[in-house]
Structure 1
Amino acid sequence: MSDLAVAIARNWIGTPYVHQASARAAGSDCLGLIRGIWRELYGAEPEPVPPYSADWGEMGRTEILLRGATRHLVALSRDAQEAPGQVLLFRMREGAIAKHLGLLVQLGERSSFVHAYSGHGVIESSYSAAWRQRVVQRFRFP
C-alpha cells in the first residue's frame, strides 16, 4: 500500500496550487493531495471537507486537521520508524494549529516528501531537519 501511495503522490507533482481543490493536474492544496491519494486507494472520501482557511499561522484551540486525520488514518507512535507512504502533519508556526500535510516518499540521504503549497503547487521537497522538527503527527493509510 505504501509503494502505491508514493506512486500516486508523485503522479500529482506539477499540479497547480488551488486552495480547497483536489483535482490532479487541475488544482490542489495539501489536503487535496491527501484526499486525492485516498480516492485512488479507496474510492469515495469518508466525509465531506468543510471550508477552511489557507493560513498556516492560524491560531486556535481546535486541531481540526489533526482530528480529521485521526478519524480516517492510522496514527503512528512517536517511536514508530519513518517509512515512505506515511502522511505527515506539520505545525508551521509555534502556537498555531497544525495546517499542512505531505506524504513521505523517500528516506536516506535524499529523504523527501510530496506536498502542495501556494506559489509552488504539488512538489517533491527535501525532508530536511527544518521540516522534521515541524511534524506534529505521522499517519499511515488504513
Structure 2
Amino acid sequence: MISADPERVIAIARFWLGTPYHDQASLRGVGCDCLGLARGVWREVVGPEPFPIPPYSRDWGETGPREVLVEGARRMMIEVSPADAGPGALVLFRMKPRAIAKHVGILTEPGTFLHAYERLGVIEEPLTNAWRRRIAFAFLFPQR
C-alpha cells in the first residue's frame, strides 16, 4: 500500500479548521468530533469509507481488552511507529494511563497537529510534550 501525499492530507485537514465540535458527526463546516475529522479527511483523500462506524462512547478514560479504534485503523491504513510519524500522519492518543486510545489528530508540522476538541471545534495547536507523550499509535492515509 502506498501512502497519500502528506501535503495533500494536511491541506484537506486544514479545510476543516473552525468546524464546530459535534459528537459522532463528520460534516466539514457543520460539525465533527476527532474521529469525524479523520473520517472526513479519509473521504477526501482516499474515497468512500470502507465500513460504517458503530456508535462509541466519549469516555477518554475507557479501559478494556480491545483497542477498537486501532483495530479499525489497521484494517484500512498504513501503520508506522509513533517515533517515525511525520506531517500528514494520523496519530491516536491514549489520554489516560491504561485507557484505550480514544482521541485522534493529524500531524501538520513537526511541532503542530490538528484535531477536534470539545467546546473548541477543529483547531491546530502545538504538539506539546503533554500531547506527544500520549501518542500511542500512528498511521498514514493510503493513496486513493
Structure 1 and Structure 2 fold alike (TM over 0.5) = yes
What residue is the counterpart of 1:132 in the other structure?
A: 132
> In the TM superposition, what is the alpha-carbon distance from 1:122 to its structure 2 partner?
0.5
What residue is the counterpart of 1:51 in the other structure?
A: 55
Deviations, residues 73-106 of structure 1 (Å, cap 9, x unaligned): 10003553x3110000000001111000000001
Q: In the alignment, which of 91, 96, 113 is matched to residue 88 of structure 1?
A: 91
Question: Residues 79 and 127 (structure 1 numbering): CA distance in 2 closer, same or farther, change over 3 Å?
Answer: closer
Give the counterpart letter for 1:39 in structure 2: R
What residue is the counterpart of 1:9 in the other structure?
A: 13
Structure 2: gaps of 5 or more residues: none
What residue is the counterpart of 1:98 in the other structure?
A: 101
Alpha-carbon separation, structure 1, partners of 2:112 and 2:22 = 22
What residue is the counterpart of 1:118 in the other structure?
A: 118
Report the aligned-residue RMSD. Answer: 1.0
Give the counterpart letter for 2:58 in structure 1: A
TM, length-normalised to structure 2 = 0.92
Give the percent of matched residue pairs that are identical in Structure 1 and Structure 2. Answer: 51
Alpha-carbon separation, structure 1, partners of 2:114 and 2:69 = 18
Structure 1: gaps of 5 or more residues: none
Alpha-carbon separation, structure 2, partners of 1:114 and 1:79 = 18
Give the number of aligned pairs: 138
SS at match of 1:122: strand
> Does 2:66 correspond to 1:62?
yes
What residue is the counterpart of 2:79 in the other structure?
A: 75
Alpha-carbon separation, structure 1, partners of 2:121 and 2:83 = 31
> Does 2:28 correspond to 1:24?
yes
